[in-house]
Amino acid sequence: MGTAGTTILIIAAVFAFILLCSLRVVSQGEQRVIERLGKYHATWDAGIHVKIPFIDVIAQKVIIKERVLDTPPQPVITSDNVTMEIDAVVFYRVFDAKLYAYGANNPIEALANLSATTLRNIIGEMTLDKSLTSRDEINAKMRVILDEATDPWGIKVNRVEIRNITPPAEIRNAMEREMKAERERRETILQAEGHREAIIMRAEGDKQAMILAAEGERDARIARAEGEAKALLLQKQAEADALVAIKKAAPTAEVIELKRYEAMVALANGKAAKLIIPTDAVEGVRKNVMFSETAGIGSVTHEGEDEPTPQKEDPCCD
């Protein structure tokens, strides 16, 4: 191989080396701002690109993924002259690498300063109590203001969150005392309401118990009355059935008279009992000798007891 061949190989090797050095790979989520001869030329997205040596220059590497800016705590003054410290976090992303590269000297520092001043302005229009209870309102106002202000820088503010609000120590102590008093008031109210509810429930229970007792007594009386009525009805029904049976049996006059006198004997069977026999009954007995002997009336009389014989006094004992 001659000198010419060697030269060609060297030139080819140099050309291949320069070509390899000119190849650039841009990762996903990144962009490259390219300047050609000191002037903006193009923006490279993710993929393989070729840079002209000594002419094209990568001016800036830009990350287009969402990032977080953590602002340090800063003192702010509310409208009622209370100084407190507030820190916030800003979620943003770059939507235009060219504007991000040429819009501001240091866009991130500019965004941090802008968020601090915006936060001071918003809190300065609120009282302490309102600032403590209006985080969503503060976040929304800051996001709108920062998003509009950072558009020329190629930055999109997606969300702003207030992380900490730290009032002075004496304000915190006063708030704790106020919260403690409020909780004690609520506890007292709850206890009073519970006591009242307990009294009402107890009275309701007593009333229901009295109502149930009265209803039970009423039902018991009704049941007893119904039982007595049924018993009396059954008794009268039995007597009626007995009369019907006697009527069907057609008893003789002698049997009827016998039953009448058995009833009289039963009535006379007792102490200090006085029996009055009607005259017509005695006449009936007299007419029927057989019935008189069966009943034992008029045929047998009890003899009176003998009077005791008086004893003579013994003259010897005087």
How many CB atoms lie under 10 A from the CB of residue 284? Answer: 17
pLDDT exceeds 90 at position 266: no
Name which CATH class applies to 67-167.
Answer: alpha beta
Higher-scoring residue by pLDDT: 314, 69 = 69
Distances (CA, A) of 227 to 138, 178, 223, 235: 84, 72, 6, 12
Cβ–Cβ < 8 Å for 53, 60 = no
pTM tops 0.75:
no
Q: pLDDT tens-digit profile of 138-160? A: 999 999 999 999 999 999 999 99
Q: What values do phi and psi take at 67, rounded to 5? A: -130, 170
pLDDT exceeds 70 at position 180: yes
pLDDT of residue 245: 74
Please give the Cα distance from 88 to 166 (Å, whole number): 12
Alpha helices in 23-168 (DSSP H): 97-102, 107-124, 128-133, 135-150
Domain layout of the chain by residue ranges: 16-63, 67-167, 169-248, 251-294
Alpha helices in the chain (DSSP H): 3-22, 97-102, 107-124, 128-133, 135-150, 169-249, 253-268, 279-287, 289-295
At residue 295 the predicted structure's pLDDT band, cuts being 50, 70 and 90, is very low
pLDDT of residue 176: 79
